[in-house]
Amino acid sequence: MNEALLRSLTPSVLTVLVRRGADFAAAEDAVQDALVEALRVWPADPPRDAKGWLVTVAWRRFLDGVRADTARRRREDLLDEEPVPGPAPAVDDTLQLYFLCAHPSLTPSSAVALTLRAVGGLTTRQIAQAYLVPEATMAQRISRAKRTVSGVRFDQPGDVATVLRVLYLVFNEGYSGDVDLSAEAIRLTRQLAAAVDHPEVAGLLALMLLHHARRAARTAPDGSLVPLAEQDRGRWDTASIAEGVGILQAALARDRLGEFQAQAAIAALHADAPTAEETDWVQIVEWYDELMRLTDSPVVRLNRAVAVGEADGPRAGLAALAALDDSLPRHAAVAAYLHERDGDLARAARLYAEAARKATNLAERDHLTRQAARLNSGRRQ
Amino acid sequence: MAKYLLLKHYRGAPAPCNGAPMDQWTPEEVSAHIQYMHDFAARLEKTGEFVDGQALAPEGTWVRYDGEGRPPVTDGPFAETKDLIAGWMVIDVDSYDRAVELAGELSAAPGAGGKPIHEWLEVRPFLAATPATTECPHR
């Protein structure tokens, strides 16, 4: 059975139920039940019409739930055998579903969980595994999220930017356990790009594809990080790069630049270089300047300092770094790198060890510890 | 079965005999150490004794309640904190002896020169949630 196909049907099945008059929270539960049922039944008995099957089973589950609640809630009107069609949707229903799941009243972690379940069709168990929390915790997070958005009208227009932030968070969570969240984020962003014509949606999709293309080369067989300059570029996924570049070029041609397009442009310049030495760092610095005009975030300034160090030499990079607060995450790591390139190995080793102490994830900590170890053992010889 | 916490300390444990800090090892020694830790956890998963393992950042903050309607008071991190936990592994094993045996293996993780660190690990039994019914027949 094709689980990806099953999950791709989730938003349309859910919106059918909502259009028939089901409230979002109950409809979402019913669709989840139908998905779990499909995972159980389909391998032995695949339906001819997958979507029809899901709608039928989900609607039946929904009605069962309503019947159970009826005495208390008096909702017999929904029990008519033939569902009443709702008003014709003004905007694409899938898009409405994205807006609802990324609604600004939700915390980022709730929006992420609800999006993965209601739009992505993942089970609560899969989402819990991906985020390394107990299933009961994730179930609570999702049901609280649904309560939070219960008063939001389904046909209310939303802000694409909030949806993009949620998808960006999912993508960056990466890969742990059975569910590949980066791949899932790409799938959901692709689906969004099909539902709405927006250059930043295209920009985010391009950014994801270009980063994902390097994934195989980013870690060594022992799990350690391989920095960009040392990656085996033959292991980059050229099809993914070509697709990302194509999408980005079409988006840039529309002349409505945004943060994700600018980040994708930087990723594209890296992808475009046959060797690390041939990277067009001057153009990368120009894109960082664009990005600073768009966001002016300290993280962007820090990354820009690295690019300046490559384009104009480590001293220039250190000068750019000097203007930044040294409590910024990864500041010590950048300083270590630039001092090493400048030939001050003792200082670089000290800074790498400091950066390792400040690292916020294990892979980076191990990598930075190895860098310190490399410089220190080189100096002993 | 009983659960035990194996605690690893940044500071506060007795000094190990091969205790050079990691950044003074060679990169290969660092890799060998990390590999040993991965393999150890993977082996315990296979034997059905692994529950959880986590590493902690070295800097933390002290926090306490400061009264109704006021934000909590924070303090630290303190460079001189005597006891600083680096991480833990939770195991679920048949006996205290097995917990000690496993902690001994974990302490043999290679360090500088590829030799075991002989790091002191703290083994702490979990308090069980409920007494075993058969041990308390009149409940």
Residues 6+ apart with CB under 8 A from A27: A14, A17, A18, A58, A62
CB A112 within 8 A of CB A95: no
Distance between CA A171 and CA A112 in Å, rounded? 10
Among B114, B121, B102, residue whose Cα is nearest residue B35: B114
DSSP state for residue B58 in the 8-state scheme: S
What pLDDT sits at residue A317?
A: 98
CB < 8 Å from B in window 305-364 of A: 349, 352-353, 356-360, 362
Question: Which among B24, B34, B59 has the least Cβ separation from residue A366?
Answer: B34
The answer to whether the Cβ–Cβ distance between B22 and A369 falls below 8 Å is yes
What pLDDT sits at residue A89?
A: 46
Domain ranges of chain B: 2-129
Judging contacts by C-beta atoms under 8 Å, the chain A residues touching residue B38 are: 223
pLDDT band per the 50, 70, 90 thresholds, residue A80 = very low
Judging contacts by C-beta atoms under 8 Å, the chain B residues touching residue A352 are: 23
What pLDDT sits at residue A206?
A: 98
The answer to whether the Cβ–Cβ distance between B31 and A358 falls below 8 Å is no
What pLDDT sits at residue A177?
A: 63
The answer to whether the Cβ–Cβ distance between B27 and A370 falls below 8 Å is yes
The answer to whether the Cβ–Cβ distance between A373 and B25 falls below 8 Å is yes
Other Cβ atoms less than 10 A from the Cβ of A143: the count is 15
pLDDT at A1 > cutoff 70: no
Q: Treating both helix axes as pointing N-terminal to C-terminal, what angle do A24-41 and A10-19 enclose, rounded to 10 degrees?
A: 140
CB A57 within 8 A of CB A37: yes
What pLDDT sits at residue A74?
A: 54
pLDDT at B17 > cutoff 90: no
Domain B2-129 has CATH 3.30.70.1060: yes
Judging contacts by C-beta atoms under 8 Å, the chain B residues touching residue A374 are: 26-27
**What is the share, in percent, of chain A residues with pLDDT greater than 70?**
93
CB A12 within 8 A of CB A51: yes
pLDDT, tens digit, for every residue of A118-143?
Answer: 999 999 999 999 888 999 999 999 99
Which segment of A182-196, A362-376, B80-94 scores lowest on mean pLDDT? B80-94
Judging contacts by C-beta atoms under 8 Å, the chain B residues touching residue A376 are: 23-24
pLDDT, tens digit, for every residue of B98-127?
Answer: 999 999 999 999 999 999 999 999 999 999
Mean pLDDT, residues B81-110 taken together: 93
Distance between CA A334 and CA A302 in Å, rounded? 8
What pLDDT sits at residue A84?
A: 46
